[in-house]
Structure 1
Amino acid sequence: MKSLSDTILIIHIIAGVIALAVAPIAMVVKKGGQSHKRWGLIFFWSMTVIFVTALFLSTVKWIPFLLMISVFSYYSVFSAYRWKFQKKLHRGDTVKWYDWLAAIVNAIFNTTYVAWGIYLIFIDVQGAFPYLSIGFGTLGLLLSKKNIQLFLKPHEAQAWLYRHIGGMIGGFIAALTAFSSQVMGFLPTWLQWSWPSLIGVPLIYIFIVRLKRKIDQSKAVS
């Protein structure tokens, strides 16, 4: 079992390096072009490998944080990828059953983590994990909530685009957080966990706001 775990760990690390390397490329190349699609697809499948290997490692070695961050990051990326195929929900297209399933499973999983974090605080467990459990669990719940809301009432034609961008970058931020927590021990603990979000979340917000403004201006001109 140790040999198998070591092999899967190596695969996990290689996939992580690839994902962290190609994500910025997908972000900077022309959106919608072949390069963007190619690098984005490599990122998606790298994150898929990370997710599968993390499920194994976190279960066999019981690493709660790895399980939590892998589910959070992968649902973010998976849902972002799936939004590419749901561009016409506002015109009456139906949501696939596996998109519903993923959103519901993610919501249940993150509800469990929020409850667990609260319980750990209640029994006075020290350290950062209880608060991380509540924080990431809450973010995961909000992600499922927003997706389900759009499944039920897809009111905006460009909603898929905003969810695609936010989800892909959000998954990258989560993966970067996991990387930081493992290799940036020279930073204070709170900063190891927070700097990717402190930088990345405002950038997502600014980018999407500017994109919305650009799209609105384009509509006004036409």
Structure 2
Amino acid sequence: MEQLNRFLLLLHVAAGSLALLSAIFAISFRKGAKNHNLAGKTYFWSMMAVAATAIPVSILRPNLMLFFVAIFSSYMAYAGWRFGRKSRYIMARQPYVEWAMLVVGIAMIFSGLVQVFTGSPMGWVLVAFGAIGLQFAVQDLRGWGKAEDFGTRISNHLSHMLGGTIATVTAVLVQQLVPRLDPSSPFKVIVWLAPTVIITPLIIIWARKVKATQKVRLFQK
């Protein structure tokens, strides 16, 4: 069992590293270009691999935080991929995945608050990620089945994909920094939340500009 856990962790780290690199490349390439599409597909499948390895690890070594964040990041990557594919934007299926994310978001917030009230400040991390996941799930459900213009669709694509990237960046920082901190150090919470606090405003600005101008480039006139 321990060997299986180590193997899954190795795959998890490799998939997370590939997801981070492909996200950087996807942002750098022009939307619609072959390089962008290839980087986007690589990012999507890497994020699916991240979740597929993180969930069993979180069960083998019970870790509620890892379990919830894996679901959150995989949902963001999936929804971002859906918005990025025009042919898959309006789907015939029922929004079961979106409803599931709504339930998970509520569960994350509840679990986080329980941890906070029992003396664990790390609960705020679950509250933050849960609130973001819940907000996106509600937004996606409200827009389900509606045809939207290019700017709105790509704005949704960007915000979801980059939201998933926040989880990937967070995971890298946590793996590198948190083990070096004292178990009771309050800086653990800062490490977990810093990428969200720093990157989220940039995502909002970019997504709003795309929606308003119908242009993807952040600094494009």
TM-score by length of 2: 0.86
- CA apart distance, 1:42: 0.6
Gaps of 5+ in 1: 217-222
| 1:87 and 1:160 in contact (8 A); partners too | no
Match of 1:177 in 2: 170
Gaps of 5+ in 2: 182-186, 216-221
| 1:9 and 1:53 in contact (8 A); partners too | yes
SS, match of residue 158 in structure 1? helix
Indicate whether 1:165 and 2:158 are aligned: yes
| 2:108 and 2:127 in contact (8 A); partners too | yes
SS, match of residue 24 in structure 2? helix
| 1:26 and 1:35 in contact (8 A); partners too | yes
Match of 1:131 in 2: 124
Match of 2:205 in 1: 206
| 1:88 and 1:157 in contact (8 A); partners too | no
Compare 31-40 and 198-207 and name the one that shifted more: 198-207
Q: Could you say if the C-alpha distance between residues 85 and 96 of structure 1 is closer, same or farther in structure 2, counting changes exceeding 3 Å? A: farther
Match of 1:38 in 2: 38
One-letter code aligned to 2:11: I
Match of 2:23 in 1: 23
Instruction: Give percent identity, aligned residues only.
Output: 24
Aligned mates of 1:14, 1:197 — CA distance in 2: 22
Runs of 4+ aligned residues of structure 1 deviating over 4 Å after TM superposition are 86-89, 152-157
- CA apart distance, 1:191: 2.6
One-letter code aligned to 1:136: F
Indicate whether 1:47 and 2:47 are aligned: yes
- CA apart distance, 1:95: 2.8
1:117 corresponds, among 108, 112, 118, to: 112
Match of 1:95 in 2: 91
Aligned mates of 1:155, 1:28 — CA distance in 2: 25
Aligned mates of 1:110, 1:209 — CA distance in 2: 24
Aligned mates of 1:33, 1:112 — CA distance in 2: 39
Could you give the per-residue CA deviations for residues 38-60 of structure 1, whole angstroms, max 9, x where no partner exists? Answer: 01111111101000001110111
Aligned mates of 1:95, 1:136 — CA distance in 2: 27
